Amino acid sequence: MQGFDAVVVGAGAAGLLCAGLAGQQGLRVLLVDHAPRLAEKIRISGGGRCNFTNREAGSANFLSENPAFCRSALARYTPQDFIKLVQQHGIAFHEKHKGQLFCDGSAEQIIQMLVKECEAGGVTRWQPCTVADVRLLPDGGFELDTSQGTVKAPRVVVATGGLPVPKIGASDWGLRLAKRFEHTIVEPRPALVPLTFDADAWAPFAPLAGLSLPVEVSCGSGKARGRFLEDLLFTHRGLSGPAILQISSYRTAADQPLQINLAPELQLDKELVEIKSTSRRQLGNEFAARLPQRLAAAWLERAKLDTARPLAECRDADLQRLGRSVHDWQLTPSGDEGWRKAEVMRGGVSTRDLSSQTLESKRVAGLYFIGEVVDVTGWLGGYNFQWAWASAAACARAMAEASTPT
């Protein structure tokens, strides 16, 4: 039976970096993954260019039932630390929007960088390789039955990710293992996901599919309220775009409505009344000068107002009502596009069962959980990768400090 100082299960972002860093600190590490291709989620991220971090990442950009949990790891491995690693490997990158960093080339550069980090740490990698069972040994440590044989190690790191995009190998293996070892699971649900609506209710807006515009969207209340100024995209089935992906993470109940301001830089309820005395245009033309034309037409039809009526002949109350409806569009999604289209998972292994310093289980010594499998979910824009890097680094550092290599 082969022995290692640590076995990392899952060769995605968190698993690759954790294995590489632990190996470089003197541990003999085995990295296993069931998928035939390495790090597919990295490969498809950021339109193939990998939005690998966000310069502004901090604990306020993450959701969890225990919001303070992520602070320690994020503070000890910052975006600047990962940027330095990217620069050391000669990977050119650019900032696209609100601190989001992308490779100039392709996401494959990040994957190869992480592979080189593993090689520098002498990491043994088995892939594809499944893990059928993990057993606690009476004297401490673990025994793992894998498709390439049984191995033994005092430490096991679960870096198996979440449930989104099952076609590239997403698995609930890590969640099932956590449950087996009596960890609490915060109910997993799709996050950063397009939202859908009942077909009949959405029929008036379906013709707007493909239309995009900047909006302000909000959802929730109190400390749990989210608010974003981003682009919204109409689809045949509902709403997508950065604004909707962001706010989807804040929806905690099926009947929770969204509030959308379709013209956040205007005050249409006042403006339409104010220009009434000087405008010679029809309502439809004046309204379409302030909103995308297709949206303006659909909105006037929804309001049952005559587009051909001169603005000067419109009642103030009707114009105010029309303007307010643009700034306070309240609607309740019937669902979302599910794991197939979700970018990340909200929920996972409860942070109450883990050390924020080390990511080690409080229930089972030597068992660690890192990355997306943990109940820490970042905003859209490189934040989830930063959590992967930070949790991986915290775990690798902790294992090295606690271990005497065999």
Phi-psi category of 307—alpha, beta or left, where left has phi over 0 and alpha has psi -120 to 50? alpha
What integer pLDDT is reported at residue 254 of this predicted model? Answer: 87
**Residue 69: per-residue pLDDT:** 98
Predicted pLDDT at 405: 46
- CB count in 10 Å sphere of residue 177: 22
Query: Order of strands, edge to edge, in the sheet holding 100-103?
Result: 51-54, 100-103, 93-95
pLDDT digit string (tens) for 360-399? 999 999 999 999 999 999 999 999 999 999 999 999 999 9
pLDDT of 258 reads: 97
Do 178 and 158 contact (CB within 8 A), yes or no? yes
Give the residue ranges of the chain where pLDDT is below 70: 404-406
Q: How far apart are CA 328 and CA 376, in angstroms?
A: 31
State how far the Cα of 37 lies from the Cα of 100, in Å rounded to an integer.
26
Q: Give the pLDDT confidence score for residue 406 in this predicted structure.
A: 47
Cβ atoms of 40 and 168 within 8 Å: the answer is yes
Question: Which two tokens mark 169?
Answer: 């190998």
Helix (H) or strand (E) holding 100: strand 100-103
Say what the pLDDT of residue 404 is. Answer: 58
What proportion of the chain, given as a percentage, has pLDDT over 90? Answer: 95
According to the model, what pLDDT value does residue 224 have? 85
Residue 24: what pLDDT? 98
Strand partners, 100: 54
Q: What is the pLDDT of residues 247-289, one digit of tens each?
A: 999 998 888 999 999 999 999 999 999 999 999 999 999 999 9
- Give the HSE-up count for residue 400: Cα atoms under 13 Å, Cβ half-sphere: 17
Q: Are strands 238-240 and 226-234 parallel, antiparallel or unpaired?
A: antiparallel
Nearest CA to 356 among 373, 376, 381? 376
In the prediction, which pLDDT does 397 show?
Answer: 98
Tokens, residue 306: 């005559």
